[in-house]
Amino acid sequence: MTCRNRIAAALAALLFVAAGCSRVPVSETRTLMGTQVTITVQDYDNDKLDGGQLPAAMDSAFVEIARIEDLARWDELKKLNAWAGYQAAPIGEELIGLIDRAYQIAENTGGAFRPDLGPLTNLWGIGTDEARLPAYWEIEEALDLISQTVFTIEDSVYARLDPDGASLDLGGVAKGYAVDRACFVLDDLGVTAAMVEAGGDLRVFGRKPSREPWRIAVRHPRELDRFYTIIELHEGAVATSGDYERYFEVDGGRYHHIFDPETGYPSRASISATAIAETCAGADAYATAFFVLGPDAAVRLAGGLELPALVIDENDDGELVSRQTSSFARLRADERLDPER
């Protein structure tokens, strides 16, 4: 065999081996749920998942996220809201469970997070082409409707929303739930270590081959191309809510999408809140609640719930001030970082 033939044979063998495996980490990003969703796989079970099947496994996770987007934002939820005050809607066991979980978190947070703010989000229209500053009386009417809203589970399929005009908005949990479901799909198909991130909400599971923890950057709320701090996590979910995510400006005022359920206006208690929980749906909702509560009250509540949390605000001079639970501080990769830089 000539030297050229030996080289050709070696290359062919290499291609044959590569066809049955996939180098990790492997990362892919797609646009779903109105944001960039990135899946990064660090390791997989060779006995359960052939490396060549890894792209298909990641595709299945993306498909699952798209399914949750339809479930929580358009199809069944839209029917529940449209039939409010008239009759029960067949929304299915999965959506009933997600709504029930959202109401449980609402109870845990004293209403700082609540899933029935649909009349407010529809009124303000933030994030749409119809965003506007409502009149005071419109906000009062929406708050009155929200105070009367009742969600009733009739059986495993049917649920009812009252009164007429009531509306659920699952934006505070849907994205996190989609991340949770994507992680479940990846794990079920044989992925043993991965991160799924969707617009600031992420979940990690499994140890990297290096056995090092996942390093996660928390975005600086005023300098978005920088990080505020970095945390290390072996397992779990992280979500951050910030006033920089979705907003509009009118007459010199800036109005973001995180509403204070007490006032009906965007909350001014914080500029950023980060929560860590077992599930991304939980972290998503608690981050919203902590943002609404503000640094002091949020850290007290997070400590009672045993959830790591970081809440950031600005003082009158525009300087950032923050509070964190001791459990969050222990996760910070480098306490010497100066978050004010």
Domains recognised in the chain with CATH numbers: 203-329 (3.10.520.10)
- Distance between CA atoms of residues 310 and 328, nearest Å: 7
- Distance between CA atoms of residues 19 and 235, nearest Å: 31
Task: Note whether 177 and 281 are within 8 A (CB).
Answer: yes
pLDDT for the residue numbered 72: 66
Per-residue DSSP letter, 14: H
pTM across the whole model: 0.90
pLDDT for the residue numbered 19: 37
Spatial neighbors of 307 by CB under 8 A, at least 6 apart, are 275, 276, 277, 286, 325, 327
- Distance between CA atoms of residues 131 and 125, nearest Å: 4
Q: Is the dihedral of CA 252, 35, 177, 187 positive or negative?
A: negative
Task: Note whether 35 and 175 are within 8 A (CB).
Answer: yes
Q: Which helix (H) or strand (E) holds 60?
A: helix 54-73
pLDDT for the residue numbered 2: 47
pLDDT for the residue numbered 334: 66
For residue 338, the one-letter residue type is D
- Distance between CA atoms of residues 12 and 64, nearest Å: 36
Q: Each residue of 240-275: pLDDT tens digit?
A: 999 988 888 887 788 999 999 999 999 999 999 999
Residues of the chain with pLDDT under 70: 1-22, 72-74, 334-341
Spatial neighbors of 41 by CB under 8 A, at least 6 apart, are 24, 25, 26, 27, 54, 57, 58, 186, 191, 193, 194
Q: Each residue of 214-237: pLDDT tens digit?
A: 999 999 999 988 999 999 999 999
pLDDT for the residue numbered 335: 58
pLDDT for the residue numbered 338: 47
DSSP bridge partners of 136: none
Based on C-alpha coordinates, what's the Rg of the chain?
Answer: 23
CA distances in angstroms from 104 to 95, 99, 147, 188, listed in the order given: 14, 9, 17, 27
Please state the φ and ψ torsions of residue 29, each to the nearest 5 degrees: -125, 135
